[in-house]
Amino acid sequence: MESAWQDDWHLARAYLAWQAELGATDAICDAPVNRYDLPAKLEKPAHPAPAAAAPVADAPQVDPVAQAQAMAQAAGDLDALQAAMSTYDHCELKRGARNLVFSDGVRGARVMIVGEAPGREEDRAGKPFVGEAGQMLDRMFAAIGMARDTPDPACALYITNVLPWRPPQNRDPSTEERAMMRPFALRHIELADPDILILMGRISASTMLARDIRITQERGQWQQALGRPVIPMLHPAYLLRNPAAKRDAWADLLSLKAKLREVT
C-alpha cells in the first residue's frame, strides 16, 4: 500500500483527506515527541538587518568669491552694499570682529582712499583710520587742504578698506581673505565714483591692482586703473615706523594736488 501511495499521488492525497475527516490533526512519528520540552539551547530570534541608510547627497560647494561678486553687483547703492557685506558669512574675520568697518568721510568726495584692514581702534569705533595711523593720515591731507569732515566735496575725502573686519593681532590679511572681499571693494569704488583713487599701502595696492606691489618702488606713480587715475601711497603706519619716508609722502601729496587740478 505504501508503494502505491508513493506511485499514485492522487491516492495518497485521498487517504490524507480521509484521515482528516476522522479527526487526525497530527502526524505520528516512529518515536514519541514531548512537545512541552524546551530545546537544550534556545535559538536567538533573527533580527532583521538594519535598512541601509539612504545616501546623503553632498552639500553643494559654495565659491566664496563668486558669491561675493554676486552680492556686490546686486547692491544698487552704498547702503545696500554695506547691508550685503554685513550678511556675507564666508570670511572668518567676521566672527572675531566687533564691528563691520565700512567707510568714513564724505560720500561724493573727489578723492577716495582704500586702506588695508581695520586695527584695534577702528574695530572698536566702526570707522577706518581712527587710531594713531589715522591721525597721521588726517595731518597729511590737512597739509594740502583736504579732510574727511569738510562739507566741500572738492576738498573732501572718502575712506574705506579692502577688508571691513580686523584680522587678529593686526596680522596681514591672507590671500583668501583678500580675494573674497575684493569684489565688495571694487563695487564700493564703482558706487562711490571718485575722480581719483588712492591705494594706501602695499596690501591695498596689491589687492586692488591684482598683482604684487613693492610699495616703496611704485608709490607716487600714477596709472589708469579701475576706471580712473590711481596712485599707490605709503601707509601712514609705515611713516610712523620710518619717519624719513615722510618726504616721499609729501611729494605724493603734492602730486595728488596737481592731479586734482588736471582732472575735471
Note whether residue 1 is domain-resident.
no
The residue range of the domain holding 107 is 65-262
Q: Which residue has the higher pLDDT, 24 or 190?
A: 190
Q: Which residue has the higher pLDDT, 84 or 9?
A: 84
Report which of 91, 101, 147 is spatially closest to residue 123, judged by C-alpha positions: 101
What was the pLDDT predicted at 47? Answer: 65
What was the pLDDT predicted at 138? Answer: 98
What was the pLDDT predicted at 237? Answer: 97
What was the pLDDT predicted at 62? Answer: 86
What was the pLDDT predicted at 14? Answer: 72
pLDDT > 90? residue 217 = yes
Half-sphere exposure of 206 (CA within 13 A, CB side): 17
Note whether residue 15 is domain-resident.
no
- Burial level of 5, CB count in 10 A (0-12/13-18/19+)? middle
Question: SS3 of 141, please?
Answer: helix
What was the pLDDT predicted at 59? Answer: 62
Whole-angstrom CA distances from 246 to 187, 196, 254 are 31, 21, 12
d(CA 219, CA 203): 13
- Which amino acid is present at 21? E
Note whether residue 227 is domain-resident.
yes
* Phi/psi at 29 (5° precision): -90, 175
Question: Where residue 112 sits, what CATH number does that domain have?
Answer: 3.40.470.10
Q: Helix, strand, coil shares of the chain as percentages rounded to 5?
A: 45, 10, 45
Q: Across-strand partners of 115?
A: 161
Average pLDDT over residues 7-17: 68
Average pLDDT over residues 79-96: 97
Q: Across-strand partners of 161?
A: 115
Average pLDDT over residues 159-167: 98
pLDDT > 80? residue 107 = yes
Q: Which residue has the higher pLDDT, 54 or 223?
A: 223
What was the pLDDT predicted at 213? Answer: 94
CB 185 within 8 A of CB 162: yes
Whole-angstrom CA distances from 27 to 19, 33, 158, 191, 205 are 10, 11, 103, 96, 98
Note whether residue 22 is domain-resident.
no
* Phi/psi at 130 (5° precision): -120, -5
Note whether residue 45 is domain-resident.
no
Note whether residue 9 is domain-resident.
no
pLDDT > 60? residue 122 = yes
pTM, entire model: 0.77
Per-residue pLDDT tens digits for 136-160: 999 999 999 999 999 898 899 999 9
Note whether residue 190 is domain-resident.
yes
Note whether residue 112 is domain-resident.
yes
Number of domains in the chain: 1
